[in-house]
């Protein structure tokens, strides 16, 4: 068994995320048998002295049938109405199911503000920590009924990756209706399953698509992004099928694992790289990209373009010549100051502006 699989098998604190497509069916709503099987697997792992936070989607899917809605709605208001009805059904089903093992559940509904704002982040941290200390299983979802477009996480894969870091999890398990990462959408005939992702080269050239069940949100795109986020922050990830939950939580050789980076990012650097909202972007030339990936500060000379309205102290994305994000950092200038400085070497800029645009300490590379 690979080192990453051993780490996941031995994790003492876990985040398990289950997707809508694994828990709900378009016609008949919540699949209680599947939910019970998932809870069986979680309870077995808890009994082996592991603390688990469950991130569960499925509120919208579970709310469709009671509201006589045939398929997943497209507009936000109807989704929110479905989530309002479905979340209650979901929480009730989990309370009943965990009750079979005398386990207590606590519901935690989050909006992105709860992790994007640092004070809220610490507040959420305290709640999780106390729930776990009291032996409860926190069941988390996005607070869909109040989350407007601006404050949405967008998908629960990302939410699960953020929660994994927030609670200091030893591993993240993403359960879906597909049994791993393939070199293309298996529904389009892709056959090769990738057992382990160690570096970017293992996923280069594969095609990842959106959800094909019509129930899920982000498809494999969001799972891959979440796996990169968690693994990049030092947390090993397993992506497996919900039908294999017992195996996935019980050390069987299933799914795709993502090897973690060697170092775990501090809370501040994780927040900066993955949770904070970005207020703009700086486009870099190849030399500057290479420098920041070697953990050097970003100087004005390597910047070729500036977009967005930001002030010194805001978080910005640093992108390469093809607009692919390579890092995020705290910028030391207002957006209005930069056009006169970019592309110029230090001795060409006025003395009062001779400083790093993003200091190495305030910069988190997104590529390994």
Ligand X SMILES: N[C@@H](CCC(=O)OP(=O)(O)O)C(=O)O
Ligand Y SMILES: Nc1ncnc2c1ncn2[C@@H]1O[C@H](COP(=O)(O)OP(=O)(O)O)[C@@H](O)[C@H]1O
When CB distances are held under 5 to 8 angstroms depending on the partner's kind, the choice from ligand Y, ligand X, none that residue 187 binds is: ligand Y
Of the residues 58, 232, 236, 260, which one makes contact with ligand X according to CB under 6 A: 58
Minimum CB–partner distance for residue 57 and ligand X (Å): 3
216 binds ligand X (CB under 6 A): yes
- String of contacts with ligand Y for each residue 187-216, x by CB under 6 A: x------------------x-xx-xxx-xx
Buried b / exposed e across 106-130, counting CB within 10 Å, b at 16+?
bbbbbbbebbbeeeebeebbeebee
Q: Which residues contact 232 (CB under 8 A, 6 or more apart)?
A: 261, 265, 273, 366, 368
Are 25 and 71 in contact by the 8 Å Cβ rule? The answer is no
> Of the two residues 20 and 112, which places its CB atom closer to ligand Y in the complex?
20
What residue has token string 């082996």? 48
Structure tokens that stand for 333 in this block: 């200038």
Of the residues 63, 186, 236, 260, which one makes contact with ligand Y according to CB under 6 A: 186
Q: Which residues contact 269 (CB under 8 A, 6 or more apart)?
A: 364
Of the residues 31, 155, 177, 362, which one makes contact with ligand X according to CB under 6 A: 155
Write the burial class of residue 135 (CB in 10 Å: 0-12 exposed, 13-18 middle, 19+ buried): exposed
83 binds ligand X (CB under 6 A): yes
When CB distances are held under 5 to 8 angstroms depending on the partner's kind, the choice from ligand X, ligand Y, none that residue 83 binds is: ligand X
- String of contacts with ligand Y for each residue 215-244, x by CB under 6 A: xxxxxx------------------------
Minimum CB–partner distance for residue 207 and ligand Y (Å): 6
When CB distances are held under 5 to 8 angstroms depending on the partner's kind, the choice from ligand X, ligand Y, none that residue 177 binds is: ligand Y
30 binds ligand Y (CB under 6 A): no
Distance CA 230, CA 165 (A): 7
- Which listed range, 38-46, 139-147, 289-297, 340-348, lies at the site for ligand X (CB under 6 A)? 139-147
Of the residues 73, 154, 184, 280, which one makes contact with ligand Y according to CB under 6 A: 184
What residue has token string 């390469």? 320
- String of contacts with ligand X for each residue 171-210, x by CB under 6 A: ----------------------------------------
Distance CA 205, CA 202 (A): 9
21 binds ligand Y (CB under 6 A): yes
User: Is 177 labelled as part of a ligand binding site?
Assistant: yes
- Tell me the residue number closest to ligand Y, measured at CB: 19
User: Is 218 labelled as part of a ligand binding site?
Assistant: yes
When CB distances are held under 5 to 8 angstroms depending on the partner's kind, the choice from ligand Y, ligand X, none that residue 142 binds is: ligand X
- State how beta strands 13-18 and 51-56 pair: parallel
176 binds ligand Y (CB under 6 A): yes
**What residues between 55 and 94 interact with ligand Y by CB under 6 A?**
57
237 binds ligand X (CB under 6 A): no
Question: Annotated binding site for substrate: which residue ranges?
Answer: 57, 144, 156
The residues of the shown chain that bind ligand Y, judged by CB under 6 A, are: 19-22, 57, 176-178, 181-182, 184-187, 206, 208-209, 211-213, 215-220
């Amino acid at each position: 068994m690979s080192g990453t699989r051993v780490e996941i098998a031995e994790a003492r604190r876990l985040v398990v995320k289950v997707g809508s497509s694994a828990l709900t069916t378009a016609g008949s709503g919540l699949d209680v048998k599947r939910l019970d099987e998932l809870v069986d697997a979680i309870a077995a792992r808890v009994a082996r002295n592991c603390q688990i936070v469950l991130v569960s989607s499925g509120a919208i899917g579970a709310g469709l049938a009671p509201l006589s809605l045939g398929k997943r709605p497209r507009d936000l208001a109807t989704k929110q109405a479905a989530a309002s009805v479905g979340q209650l059904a979901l929480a009730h089903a989990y309370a009943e199911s965990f009750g079979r093992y005398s386990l207590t559940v606590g519901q935690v509904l989050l909006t992105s503000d709860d992790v994007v704002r640092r004070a809220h982040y610490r507040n959420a941290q305290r709640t999780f920590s106390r729930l776990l200390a009291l032996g409860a299983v926190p069941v988390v979802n996005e607070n869909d009924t109040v989350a407007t477009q601006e404050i949405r996480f967008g998908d629960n894969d990302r939410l699960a990756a953020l929660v994994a870091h927030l609670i200091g999890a030893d591993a993240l398990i993403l359960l879906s209706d597909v049994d791993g990462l393939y070199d293309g959408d298996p529904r389009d005939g892709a056959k090769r399953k990738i057992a382990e992702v160690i570096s970017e080269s293992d996923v280069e050239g594969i095609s990842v698509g959106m959800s094909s069940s019509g129930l899920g949100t982000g498809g494999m795109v969001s799972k891959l992004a979440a796996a990169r986020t968690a693994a990049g922050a030092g947390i090993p990830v397993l992506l497996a099928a919900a039908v294999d939950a017992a195996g996935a939580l019980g050390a069987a050789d299933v799914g795709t694992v993502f090897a973690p980076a060697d170092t775990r990012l501090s809370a501040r650097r994780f927040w900066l790289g993955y949770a904070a909202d970005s207020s703009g972007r700086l486009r870099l030339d190849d030399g500057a990209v290479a420098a920041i990936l070697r953990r050097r500060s970003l100087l004005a000379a390597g910047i070729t373009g500036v977009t967005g309205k930001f002030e010194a102290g805001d978080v910005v994305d640093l992108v390469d010549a093809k607009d692919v994000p390579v890092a995020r950092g705290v910028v030391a200038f207002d957006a209005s100051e930069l056009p006169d400085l970019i592309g110029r070497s230090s001795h060409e800029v006025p003395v009062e502006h001779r400083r790093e645009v993003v200091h190495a300490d305030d910069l988190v590379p997104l590529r390994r």
